[in-house]
Copies of this chain bind each other. A is one copy, B any other.
Amino acid sequence: MAQSVLPRSVQRLIDEFARLPGIGPKSASRLTFYLLRAADNQPGELATALQELKERTRLCSVCFNITEEDPCPICSDDNRDARLLCIVEEPLDVLAIERSRAYNGRYHVLHGAISPVEGIGPEDLRINELVARVAGGNFQEIILATNPTLEGESTALYLQRRLADRDVRLTRLARGLPVGGDLEYTDEITLGRAFEGRQNV
């Protein structure tokens, strides 16, 4: 009864919104009714942006980051240090690292991490492409910037083995207290890593 009251086109947009992660049926309704009241062009602008998303983007054939041009702006930027390679799980990780302004080398995006539970093995990631890239390149340091999670650590360990025969320095991002965090509320593993990695002042 409640369903039949809603026009089909309204119900359909609610259903589409509800398919997105983190958006439940209530939020989906709220977004839809918001758009019904919004300026006439707002739903259309969102629709155009959605349509152009897949049409215009592809993966960079060098680093596998998402890009509109191939190779991507980072891979084709001569001002970046081509001797440094940072390996990340996801394109969003590149964004986070770029925001930090702490790194000026190249990237390689794996598109996931090894996870036996989810059935994701090395062959599902851009690891063979990475090994080939390292073999053909002239990198001095490879930073294994996978997440500090079980899957991320396993992936880093696996990459370490795969790249062991290369004459290149392999590093991992430091683990420790998050800036602005509270020692009292830091979990014991992070605190343990912060002690292990303590530095002279």
Interface set of A (CB-CB < 8 Å, partner B): 1-2, 4-10, 12-13, 15-17, 19-23, 27, 29-37, 40, 42-57, 66-68, 73-74, 90-92, 94-95, 98-99, 101, 111
Q: Select A9's contact among B6, B19, B43, B56, beta carbons within 8 Å.
A: B56
Q: Which residues of B contact A49 (CB under 8 A)?
A: 9, 12-13, 15-16
Q: Residue on B with the closest CB to A69?
A: B7
CA distance A20 to B50 in the complex (A): 14
Contact present for B99 and A2 (CB under 8 Å): yes
Contact present for B42 and A19 (CB under 8 Å): yes
Q: Which residues of B contact A94 (CB under 8 A)?
A: 5
Instruction: With both chains docked as a complex, state the minimum distance between the C-beta of A64 and any C-beta of chain B, in angstroms.
Output: 12
Q: Which residues of B contact A53 (CB under 8 A)?
A: 9-10, 13, 32, 35-36, 43
Q: Which residues of B contact A50 (CB under 8 A)?
A: 13, 35, 43-44, 46-47, 50
Contact present for A57 and B5 (CB under 8 Å): no
